[in-house]
């Protein structure tokens, strides 16, 4: 019974943290859902152990046999890695998150949200026209190896924030259209990555929004995703089995090879991630060692085989992020969970309570955390870093443009409302809140201005402007441009 203690504790902790994250409406929920699922697979593998590899199993893998005792030892490493990830993520999240709701509402009338919606919607239409016709005719290997030109695919991926904006504004038709485009690629090529960009982000928002109101909805979505993942697994292998079941089994094999003396990878994954996040300061176009990073899964692809593979091509076998840290530092690799947790805590904290930031970066966050959990953390940061900088520039320029247009519109109210030749000597900056609520000058400001003004928002795009005449208040109603 003691063999089952740590694996059961790991699965129970992950499930409890999934529930707590749902209740707190945290985006990191997706990590703990994955941890719960693979924690249950650990328990399943202990039940069916021993597991054979290599010549005994008729495979080309290195010879190895994994029993329940060894899986229990690996479960301890998984459990400690999850705890380290939790501590690092919670610490940085609490330092960076904005107080208040983690998922605030997005106002449809917000100029910045409106500009972002139209910009990314144009990208979605253009990306669908350029990307879908050729991609729907390609095969799985052509898609994952980027045989076709990659720039139409990049345009399509860059457009996915529109689906999050549409979900936050309840424009569900756009969400359905984007999800249909992504699912058409999945069904045609059996590549699952489009689901992470077009389906999971808006569905995650809906689950977090209604998790406290309808538990049946949450369970229904969980069953739906499990059925979808199982169906895709069947399309690729022609047999029904739990999705990604070979990932933990690959983890056992690589961990046993490391224990047997195979050289580790050190801090290669963290180094590649740091270089990716420093782009464009660390320019991958000018640095020879960075254009195609040799991360841990490429090393795994070589050591897991009984004989060296002479075939050319890019071979990349990720086996969960626990394998990555085990390759880096062996039994003490779980300590690296503090660093990875801090990275994702910083990312989620930057989005928490900031609705525009969440809308723009959530698809990249979902894609990154899933592929990180699968064991391809360094590679996914290498891929998404340019997209992160693109979205950051779009967000900054949009917010600045929205503020400039609002300031111009507010100042135009006074310029277009002359009354008896009186124009209050008030700068546009002093009217920073005239659009959203009544604005009244203080006593000190009245002494500074000859003609104080009060602007009150009325229905639609009209405002009431009140001028202080020497004898009485005068009123004038003008439209806000």
What's the confidence (pLDDT) of residue 234? 64
Query: What value does the mean pLDDT of the chain take?
Result: 78
Q: Which of 301, 327, 320 is nearest to 249 (CA)?
A: 320
Least confident segment among 51-55, 405-409, 429-433, 464-468: 429-433
What's the confidence (pLDDT) of residue 180? 92
Give the range with max mean pLDDT: 223-232, 310-319, 353-362, 459-468. Answer: 353-362
Q: Are residues 218 and 149 in the same domain?
A: yes
Percentage of the chain lying above the pLDDT 70 cut? 72
More confident residue, 152 or 311: 152
Q: Is residue 64 part of a domain?
A: yes
Residue with tokens 């949009």: 398
Q: Are residues 374 and 471 in the same domain?
A: no
pLDDT tens per residue across span 161-188: 999 999 998 898 999 999 999 989 888 8
Task: Report the pLDDT averaged over residues 336-350.
Answer: 94
- Is residue 341 pLDDT above 90, yes or no? yes
Task: Report the pLDDT averaged over residues 177-205.
Answer: 89
Q: Is residue 323 part of a domain?
A: yes
Instruction: Specify the pairing of strand 51-53 against strand 453-457.
Output: unpaired
Tell me if residue 305 falls in helix, strand or coil. Answer: strand
* Cα angle for residues 453, 458, 460 (degrees, 5° grid): 135
pLDDT tens per residue across span 103-137: 878 878 888 899 999 999 999 999 999 999 988 88
- Is residue 42 pLDDT above 80, yes or no? yes
Neighbours of 327 (CB within 10 A): 27
* Cα angle for residues 242, 243, 244 (degrees, 5° grid): 115
d(CA 163, CA 171): 9
pLDDT band at 431 (very low <50, low <70, confident <90, very high): very low
Q: Are residues 474 and 350 in the same domain?
A: no
d(CA 426, CA 405): 18
d(CA 258, CA 68): 18
Q: Are residues 319 and 467 in the same domain?
A: no
d(CA 359, CA 168): 8
The token pair that represents 35 in the structure block: 């941890």
- Is residue 339 pLDDT above 90, yes or no? yes
CA distances from 40 to 47, 231, 373 (A): 11, 20, 15
More confident residue, 288 or 435: 288
What's the confidence (pLDDT) of residue 91? 94
pLDDT tens per residue across span 71-89: 999 999 999 999 999 999 9
Q: Is residue 317 part of a domain?
A: yes
Q: Is residue 280 part of a domain?
A: yes
- Is residue 290 pLDDT above 70, yes or no? no
d(CA 28, CA 86): 10
- Is residue 474 pLDDT above 60, yes or no? no
Q: Are residues 380 and 434 in the same domain?
A: no
Parent domain of 107: 2-401
The token pair that represents 311 in the structure block: 């075939």
Q: Are residues 386 and 428 in the same domain?
A: no
What's the confidence (pLDDT) of residue 420? 40
Q: Are residues 107 and 203 in the same domain?
A: yes
- Is residue 263 pLDDT above 90, yes or no? no
- Encode burial over 19-41: b for 16+ CB neighbours within 10 A, e otherwise: eebbeebbbbbbbbbbbbbbbbb
Task: Report the pLDDT averaged over residues 202-229.
Answer: 73
Q: Are residues 366 and 439 in the same domain?
A: no
What's the confidence (pLDDT) of residue 390? 93
- Entry pTM: 0.81
What's the confidence (pLDDT) of residue 393? 94
Q: Are residues 156 and 248 in the same domain?
A: yes
Which residues contact residue 241 at a Cβ distance below 8 angstroms, ignoring those fewer than 6 apart?
Answer: 230, 233
Q: 372, 401, 430 — which closes off a domain?
A: 401
What's the confidence (pLDDT) of residue 370? 92
d(CA 198, CA 182): 6
The token pair that represents 214 in the structure block: 């309808």
pLDDT band at 146 (very low <50, low <70, confident <90, very high): confident
Q: Is residue 385 part of a domain?
A: yes
End-to-end CA separation in angstroms for the chain: 73
DSSP 320-349: HHHHHHHHHHGGGGGGGHHHHHHHHHHHHH
Yes or no: say if 361 and 289 are a contact pair by the CB < 8 Å rule.
no
Helix-, strand-, coil-residue percentages of the chain, each rounded to 5: 65, 5, 30
What's the confidence (pLDDT) of residue 366? 94
What's the confidence (pLDDT) of residue 105? 80
Q: Are residues 207 and 291 in the same domain?
A: yes
- Is residue 434 pLDDT above 70, yes or no? no
CA distances from 437 to 112, 434, 443, 454, 477 (A): 19, 6, 19, 10, 16
Q: Is residue 75 part of a domain?
A: yes
CA distances from 342 to 23, 86, 174, 383, 384 (A): 22, 9, 34, 20, 18
d(CA 23, CA 19): 6
**Long-range pairs of 289-295 with CB within 8 A, sequence gap ≥ 24:** 293/378, 293/379, 293/382, 294/268, 295/268, 295/269, 295/376, 295/378, 295/379, 295/382
Q: Is residue 243 part of a domain?
A: yes
d(CA 457, CA 439): 10
Q: Are residues 244 and 363 in the same domain?
A: yes
Give the range with max mean pLDDT: 18-22, 286-290, 328-332, 360-364. Answer: 360-364
Q: 354, 372, 401 — which closes off a domain?
A: 401
User: Domain total for the chain?
Assistant: 2
Q: Are residues 360 and 429 in the same domain?
A: no
Q: 339, 366, 401 — which closes off a domain?
A: 401
What's the confidence (pLDDT) of residue 313? 54
Q: Is residue 137 part of a domain?
A: yes
- Is residue 304 pLDDT above 70, yes or no? yes
The token pair that represents 338 in the structure block: 């503090």
């Amino acid at each position: 019974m003691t063999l089952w203690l740590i694996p059961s504790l790991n699965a129970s902790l992950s499930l409890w943290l999934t529930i707590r994250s749902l209740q707190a409406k945290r985006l990191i929920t997706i990590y703990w859902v994955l941890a719960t699922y693979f924690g249950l697979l650990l328990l399943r593998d202990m039940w069916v152990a021993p597991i054979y590899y290599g010549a005994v199993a008729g495979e080309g893998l290195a010879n190895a046999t994994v029993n329940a005792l060894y899986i229990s030892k690996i479960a301890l490493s998984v459990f400690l890695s999850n705890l380290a990830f939790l501590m690092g993520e919670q610490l940085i999240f609490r330092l960076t998150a904005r107080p208040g709701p983690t998922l605030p509402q997005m106002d449809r009338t917000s100029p910045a949200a409106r500009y972002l919606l139209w910009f990314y919607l144009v990208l979605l239409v253009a990306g669908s026209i350029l990307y879908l016709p050729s991609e729907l005719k390609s095969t799985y290997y052509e898609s994952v190896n980027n045989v076709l030109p990659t720039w139409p695919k990049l345009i399509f991926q860059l457009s996915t924030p529109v689906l999050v904006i549409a979900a936050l504004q309840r424009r569900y038709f756009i969400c359905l259209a984007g999800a249909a485009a992504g699912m058409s690629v999945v069904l045609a090529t059996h590549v699952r990555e489009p689901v992470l960009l077009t389906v999971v982000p808006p569905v995650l928002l809906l689950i977090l929004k209604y998790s406290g109101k309808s538990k049946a909805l949450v369970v229904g979505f969980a069953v739906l995703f499990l059925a979808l993942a199982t169906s895709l697994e069947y399309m690729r292998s022609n047999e029904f089995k739990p999705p990604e079941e070979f990932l933990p089994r690959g983890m056992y094999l690589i961990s046993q090879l490391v224990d047997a003396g195979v050289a580790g990878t050190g801090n290669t994954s963290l180094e590649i991630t740091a270089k990716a996040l420093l782009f464009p300061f660390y320019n991958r176009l000018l640095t020879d060692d960075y254009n195609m990073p040799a991360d841990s899964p490429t090393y795994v692809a070589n050591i897991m085989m009984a004989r060296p593979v002479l075939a050319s091509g890019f071979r990349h076998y990720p086996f969960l992020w626990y394998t990555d840290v085990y390759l880096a530092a062996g039994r003490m690799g779980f300590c690296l969970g503090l660093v990875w947790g801090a990275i994702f805590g910083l990312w989620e904290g930057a989005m928490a309570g900031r609705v525009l930031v969440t809308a723009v970066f959530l698809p990249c966050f979902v894609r990154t955390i899933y592929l990180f959990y699968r064991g391809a953390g360094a590679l996914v940061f290498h891929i998404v870093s340019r997209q992160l900088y693109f979205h950051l520039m779009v967000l900054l320029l949009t917010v600045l443009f929205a503020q400039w247009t609002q300031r111009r519109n507010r100042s135009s109210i006074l310029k277009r409302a002359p009354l008896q030749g009186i124009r209050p000597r008030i700068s546009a900056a002093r009217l920073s809140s005239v659009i959203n609520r009544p604005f009244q000058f203080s006593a000190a400001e009245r002494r500074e201005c000859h003609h104080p003004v009060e602007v009150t928002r009325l229905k639609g795009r009209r405002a009431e402007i009140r001028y202080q005449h020497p004898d009485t208040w005068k009123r004038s109603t003008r439209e806000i441009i």
